[in-house]
Structure 1
Amino acid sequence: MVKEIRIAAALLICPDGQTLLVRKRGTQAFMQPGGKIDAGEQPFEALVRELQEELNLLIDPSEAVYLGEFSAPAANEPGFTVQAELFQVPIDVPVAPAAEIEEVRWIDPMGDGGLHLAPLTRDLILPFYRKSLATA
């Protein structure tokens, strides 16, 4: 039986098209900001809470666009699969790491920024974003 971790994640996009990735303290992989969905919590509620905790970022709910559900092996929990409810959110304010986030990086979505990326980010989310840019 596959063990799943349900999360809400953000594809944060700044005006120049770059996307924000985060790295949790004590880990190597960069990934989308977000986190686990608590019992009884809706994915968007979890996203708002996690972005505020991790980045001191308050988002405008009317600007968040639901992109779908994405699933990949978890980067930091061997034997688990991460099931992400992904939202695209425009951002034009500075952010800083907070809570368990040690580092934040803006990258050009056409590459990997020279970073070690989580499977979900590397294999699904960045390719999805690249494809959306190509058809826009």
Structure 2
Amino acid sequence: MKTIRVVAAVIRSEDKIFATARGYGEFKGQWEFPGGKIEPGETPQEALVREIQEELDVKTEVGDLIDTIEYDYSSFHLSMDCFWCNVTEGEIKLKEAEDARWLSKDELYSVDWLPADMELIEKLELFNKHLK
């Protein structure tokens, strides 16, 4: 099975995190943390800065690695490095997603997450340290 390596940003602002709904492809309309594929020669952090600039038109600071999620979809294996991030410059503009929300911890399960992203949500026990 083909492995796809991607990065995801868990962008924080005060007591909420940012999620987007895919605007295209097989998983259109399902929710995820923004990010994308790691290009050859890029570190995961470099890929995340580039992807967030491309998708949301903002500059970000990449923080600590939260976890690497390994998930088998029907046609590929996903390896997703997930990092805490902060927007450092600009206002978020959706360039690829069809919708976006800032979610509090009480709202995390109010959207239809992609399976790999749901695994990250379930692993975010330390999330309570970051959200009130």
Q: TM-score, normalization: structure 1?
A: 0.80
The size of the alignment, in residue pairs, is: 126
Identity of aligned residues (%): 25
Q: d(CA) in 2 for partners of 1:73 and 1:119?
A: 9
- Tell me the amino acid that sits aligned with residue 104 of structure 1: A
Q: Identify the residue that residue 44 of structure 2 maps to in structure 1.
A: 43
Q: Which amino acid aligns with 2:94?
A: P
| 8 A contact 2:61–2:87 mirrored in 1 | no
The answer on 1:89 being equivalent to 2:85 is yes
Unaligned runs of 5+ in 1: none
Going by fraction, where is strand more abundant, 1 or 2? 2
Secondary structure, in 3 states, of the residue corresponding to 1:85?
A: strand
CA positional deviation for 1:38:
0.7
Give RMSD over aligned pairs. 2.1
Aligned ranges 1:17-96 → 2 under 5 Å: 18-26=16-24, 27-61=28-62, 64-74=63-73, 78-91=74-87, 94-96=91-93
Query: What letter matches 1:87 in structure 2?
Result: F
> Any unmatched runs of 5+ in structure 2?
none
Q: Which amino acid aligns with 1:125?
A: L
Q: Which residue of 2 aligns with 1:127?
A: 122
Taking a change above 3 Å as real, the CA distance of residues 125 and 23 of structure 1, as seen in their structure-2 partners, is same
Shift of the alpha carbon at 1:37? 0.4
1:116 match = 112
In structure 1, C-alpha distance between the alignment counterparts of 2:6 and 2:17, rounded to whole Å: 19
Which whole-Å CA distance do the structure 2 matches of 1:87 and 1:60 have between them? 10
Q: Secondary structure at the match of 2:116?
A: helix
The aligned amino acid for 1:22 is T
* Distance in structure 1 (CA, Å) of the matches to 2:48 and 2:71: 19
